[in-house]
């Protein structure tokens, strides 16, 4: 297979295992490129990409921008907080105004689930979802699975537990789809109030006890409690959450085996993981960030080749 089955990356739900493998193989090549002394290739020299961020971001925004620049694309950045969205302009009007400046691709983070899907139906550009509310964060899940593949050689057959605030997490949903498509076995662990009721329909088991979950898994992906998406309290206190669902070095060292610890960031140090875990050799958190650039280069490159192909 040499091209993606989709024209947009809206969610892992919409792509196939073959798409994911193609993205990984392409990312292998770009990872080699970004470790050279000359890190830039001319692949997207005729492509203009708009990064539209309607929600805060550090890793995803910088990683996309770097990926675009490494591919020699022309890049425009838009942040809702300093734009005419504040004066009441709609999403479609905002995007159409940007597209009239001849933009080919849009990378968008938005607080509303489905914003990327909506946009893909209304504008003539390739859309990449950089996180839509509590729905999906496909490039995060791709870089997470890619990092597991890099560390453990394969994703198939690996046992992965996703710990924490599953209910409000786009990272959890995209990771579940990606890991299952790649043949991993996935469990979730967290307070009952933060586990969605539909979780069993996704073929995911719930483990309420963190020590049992960690003793079962090869990889633990620790999620942040997303206070910004909560209007009520889902657990009594942060201290109690940390006591039951936080990983510290003592717990990690007392397990039957050495597991891999992941975190999508931003980390609440001392809440979901302690600093000595985040900075330990079992944690691959910064490898995830590094791999994010290669994965995003691969996604942009493969989607752009479809635009060029469709124009031929």
Q: Which is the catalytic residue, given 36, 86, 87, 197?
A: 87
> Per rule CB under 6 A, is residue 175 in the interface with ligand CP?
no
> Per rule CB under 6 A, is residue 11 in the interface with ligand CP?
no
Which is closer to ligand CP, CB of 126 or CB of 140? Answer: 140
Say what the alpha-carbon torsion angle 221, 227, 230, 236 is, to the nearest 10 degrees.
90
Of 40-48, 57-65, 200-208, 277-285: span binding ligand CP (CB under 6 A): 57-65
User: How far, rounded to the nearest angstrom, does the alpha carbon of residue 54 sit from its chain's CA centroid?
Assistant: 16
User: How far is residue 30's CA from residue 70's CA, in Å, rounded to a whole number?
Assistant: 9
> Per rule CB under 6 A, is residue 190 in the interface with ligand CP?
no
User: How far is residue 269's CA from residue 246's CA, in Å, rounded to a whole number?
Assistant: 10
Active site residue 13: no
Burial of 141 (0-12, 13-18, 19+ CB in 10 A): buried
Q: Which is the catalytic residue, given 31, 137, 168, 170?
A: 137
According to CB under 6 A, which one of 26, 120, 126, 140 is a site residue for ligand CP?
140
Of 4-12, 95-103, 228-236, 261-269: span binding ligand CP (CB under 6 A): 261-269
- Contact characters 76-115, ligand CP, x per CB under 6 A: ----------------------------------------
According to CB under 6 A, which one of 11, 138, 191, 264 is a site residue for ligand CP?
264
> Per rule CB under 6 A, is residue 269 in the interface with ligand CP?
no
Residue 9 zone, left/alpha/beta (φ > 0; ψ -120 to 50; rest) = beta
According to CB under 6 A, which one of 266, 269, 270, 309 is a site residue for ligand CP?
266
Active site residue 122: no
Alpha helices in 107-204 (DSSP H): 115-122, 138-152, 170-181
Q: Which tokens is 199 given?
A: 């979780």
Q: Which is the catalytic residue, given 31, 70, 109, 224?
A: 109
Active site residue 60: yes
User: How far is residue 210's CA from residue 248's CA, in Å, rounded to a whole number?
Assistant: 11
Dihedral (CA of 270, 57, 141, 92) sign: positive
Q: For binding to ligand CP (CB under 6 A), which residues are involved?
A: 57-60, 131, 137, 140, 264-266
């Amino acid at each position: 297979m040499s091209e993606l089955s989709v024209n947009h990356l809206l969610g892992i739900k919409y792509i196939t295992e073959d798409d994911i493998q193609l993205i990984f193989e392409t990312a292998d090549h770009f990872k080699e490129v970004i470790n050279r002394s000359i890190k830039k290739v001319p692949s997207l020299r005729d492509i203009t990409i708009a990064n539209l961020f309607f929600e805060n971001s550090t890793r995803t925004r910088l990683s996309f921008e770097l990926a675009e620049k490494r591919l020699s694309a022309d890049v425009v950045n838009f942040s809702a907080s300093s734009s005419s969205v504040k004066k009441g302009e709609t999403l479609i009007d905002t995007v159409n105004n940007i597209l009239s400046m001849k933009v080919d691709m849009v990378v968008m983070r938005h607080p509303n689930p489905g914003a990327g899907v909506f946009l893909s139906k209304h504008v003539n550009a390739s859309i990449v979802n950089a996180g839509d509310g509590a729905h999906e964060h496909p490039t995060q899940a791709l870089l997470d699975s890619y990092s597991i593949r890099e560390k453990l050689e394969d994703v198939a057959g690996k046992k992965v537990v996703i710990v924490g605030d599953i209910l409000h997490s786009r990272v959890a949903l995209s990771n579940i789809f990606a890991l299952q498509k790649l043949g991993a076995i996935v469990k979730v662990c967290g307070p009952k109030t933060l586990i969605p009721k539909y979780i069993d329909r996704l073929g995911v088991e719930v483990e309420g006890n963190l020590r049992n979950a960690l003793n079962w898994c090869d990889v633990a992906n620790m999620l942040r409690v997303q206070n910004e998406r909560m209007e009520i309290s889902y657990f009594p206190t942060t201290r109690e959450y940390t006591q039951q669902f936080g990983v510290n070095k003592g717990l990690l060292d007392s397990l039957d085996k050495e597991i891999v610890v992941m975190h999508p960031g931003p980390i609440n140090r001392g809440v979901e993981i302690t600093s000595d875990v985040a900075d330990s050799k079992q944690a691959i958190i910064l490898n995830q960030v590094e791999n994010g650039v290669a994965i995003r280069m691969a996604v942009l490159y493969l989607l752009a080749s479809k635009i060029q192909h469709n124009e031929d």
